[in-house]
């Protein structure tokens, strides 16, 4: 899932001047989001049915 999510959504991000001045690209945004998500943590959630 992680390998597909970044390439499949990077076209949806547009960097502003502040991001461009820090050399951030549209590909960096989903990668940084995925890095911030805990990978080994067990998810505890309920679906409302």
**Sequence-separated (6 or more) residues with CB below 8 Å from residue 31:** 6
Phi-psi region of 35 (alpha: psi -120 to 50; beta: other; left: phi over 0): alpha
In a domain, 43, yes or no: no
Q: Per the domain annotation, does 46 fall within a domain?
A: no
Domain that holds residue 18: 2-36
% helix, strand, coil for the chain, step of 5: 50, 0, 50
Q: Is residue 49 part of a domain?
A: no
Choice between 6 and 8, residue whose per-residue pLDDT is larger: 8
What's the structural domain count of the chain?
1
pLDDT of residue 30: 82
User: For residue 48, is it within any domain?
Assistant: no
pLDDT per residue over 10-47, tens digit each? 778 888 999 889 998 888 888 888 888 877 777 676 76
């Amino acid at each position: 899932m992680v390998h597909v999510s970044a390439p499949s959504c990077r076209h949806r991000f547009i960097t502003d001047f502040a991001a461009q001045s820090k050399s951030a690209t549209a590909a960096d945004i989903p990668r940084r989001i995925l890095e911030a998500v805990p990978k080994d943590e067990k998810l505890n959630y309920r679906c409302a049915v």
